[in-house]
């Protein structure tokens, strides 16, 4: 039995707009990341992936507000902690977060080593410069970044290199959990692969104990993570292992998402891509019942009335749909036959 590094129970967070409307971007989300595991979060833009990432850290600032639920990091409950406290004792040490355009966060007038000094000094004011340098150099070498990067300015580095540098800096205090929000979406394929390799390296060498990886690129998620959560309109609609999520999705939304994968592999040329018609619901007043009902092909009248719980089906799988597993599979099989 491995340790649970991060556990979230029924977390709900909301944005309050300037018209004082509540938008529940994360709605009763529960998740668990065990030591040595990586969890992927998939979903289209605006489904609450990034808000979930922000909420997980317990670091709330307006317009994002905490509503209910619990966050437990490595056995420590951080629910309701004051943001200042979170910044001092949680961020960097317990959880590191890499935002989408992390490389743009580098101040162009500072050398890379200065950022490293900033991070370490904030948590350990007594560290000397030479200690910091030795520490940074050691980490950079392990991660396959040349040590002379430390003495360079951000403009001297390529995009992929900057991104990897930021990742290296964020894990310098060996946090337990790394949250990577689209860490490679602005990079070309080769740099992307380097970033992924580095993240794998971090896990293997024990710099981080668990990882949460957020992206809308499913082939990438499939290759990086052990488990995948599919989010739709602020809710988790499916929870499965990476393999099951890609090859045997249950929820109609996940099915649609997996049907839009394009990879350069034999046989995928003549496959018809599935498209999901319509747009996600406005979370200002979310529909009662299933949030996907408006766009679902298999919609039943009762879908729009009763709210549907996340149903556990064993092996850590769960999905949020009124239809039983077998019925959904029959539908998908029939669909596959008509498309062929």
Partner 1 sequence: MPNERKPCLSGTGVTKVFGLGRNKTVAVDNVDFTFYEGEIISIVGESGSGKTTLAKMLLGLINTTEGEIYFQGQKRDIGSHRKKKEYWKSIQAIFQDPFSSYNTFNKIDTVLLDCIRMRGGGRLPHDQKVAMMTEACSFVNLKFEELTNKYPFELSGGQQQRLMIARIFLLKPKILLADEPTSMIDACSRATILDMLMNLRDEIGMTPIFITHDIGLAYYVSDSVYIMEHGRFVESGSADDVILRPKEAYTKRLINDVPKIYEEWDLSTV
CB of 102 to partner 1, least distance (A): 18
CB of 219 to partner 1, least distance (A): 4
Chain positions contacting partner 1, by CB under 8 A = 44-46, 159, 188-190, 192-194, 196-197, 200, 216-220, 222-223, 246, 256-257, 259-266, 268-269, 273-277
CB nearer partner 1, residue 92 or residue 160: 160
Comparing C-alpha atoms, which of 166, 130, 329, 155 is closest to residue 248?
329
Pairing assessment for the beta strands 210-214 and 38-42 based on DSSP bridges: parallel
CB nearer partner 1, residue 172 or residue 221: 221
CB nearer partner 1, residue 86 or residue 143: 143
Would you say 51 and 235 are in contact if contact means Cβ atoms under 8 Å apart? no
CB of 273 to partner 1, least distance (A): 4
| Residues sharing a CB contact under 8 Å with residue 250, sequence separation 6 or more, in sequence order | 238, 240, 313, 317, 319, 321, 325, 328, 329
- Token reading at 280: 């996600």
CB nearer partner 1, residue 177 or residue 258: 258
- Token reading at 71: 């966050």
CB of 220 to partner 1, least distance (A): 5
CB of 290 to partner 1, least distance (A): 18
Q: What share of the chain is helix, strand, coil (3-state, %, to 5)?
A: 35, 25, 40
CB of 192 to partner 1, least distance (A): 7
Here the contacts of 307-313 (C-beta below 8 Å, separation 24 or greater) are 310/235, 310/236, 310/237, 310/239, 313/250
CB nearer partner 1, residue 4 or residue 196: 196
At which residue do the structure tokens 């539908």 appear?
Answer: 331
CB nearer partner 1, residue 60 or residue 332: 332
């Amino acid at each position: 039995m491995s340790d649970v590094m991060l556990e979230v129970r029924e977390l709900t967070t909301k944005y309050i707009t300037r018209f004082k409307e509540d938008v529940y971007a994360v709605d009763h989300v529960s998740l668990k990341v065990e030591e040595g595991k990586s969890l992927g979060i998939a979903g289209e833009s605006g489904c609450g992936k990034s808000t979930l990432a922000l909420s997980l850290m317990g670091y709330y600032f307006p317009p994002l507000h905490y509503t209910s639920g619990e966050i437990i990091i490595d056995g420590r409950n951080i629910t309701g902690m004051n943001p200042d406290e979170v910044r001092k004792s949680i961020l960097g040490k317990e959880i590191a977060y890499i935002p989408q355009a992390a490389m743009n966060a580098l101040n162009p007038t500072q050398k890379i080593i200065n950022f490293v000094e900033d991070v370490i000094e904030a948590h350990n004011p007594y560290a000397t410069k030479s200690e910091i340098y030795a520490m940074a150099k050691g980490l950079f070498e392990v991660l396959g970044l040349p040590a002379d990067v430390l003495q360079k300015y951000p403009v001297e580095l390529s995009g992929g290199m900057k991104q990897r540098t930021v990742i290296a800096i964020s894990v310098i205090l060996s946090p337990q959990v790394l949250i990577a929000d689209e860490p490679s979406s602005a990079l070309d394929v080769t740099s992307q692969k380097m970033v992924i390799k580095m993240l794998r390296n971090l896990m293997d060498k024990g710099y981080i104990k668990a990882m949460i990886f957020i992206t809308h690129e499913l082939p990438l998620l499939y290759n990086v993570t052990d488990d995948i959560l599919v989010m739709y309109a602020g809710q988790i609609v499916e929870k499965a292992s990476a393999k099951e999520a890609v090859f045997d999705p249950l929820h109609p939304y996940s099915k649609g998402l997996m049907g839009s994968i394009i990879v350069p592999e034999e046989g995928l040329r003549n496959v018809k891509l599935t498209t999901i018609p319509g747009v996600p619901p406005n979370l200002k007043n979310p529909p009662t019942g299933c949030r996907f009902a408006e766009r679902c092909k298999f919609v039943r009248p009762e879908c729009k009335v009763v709210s549907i719980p996340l149903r556990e089906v064993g092996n850590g799988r769960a999905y949020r749909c009124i239809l039983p597993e077998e019925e959904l599979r029959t539908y998908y099989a029939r669909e596959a036959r008509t498309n062929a």
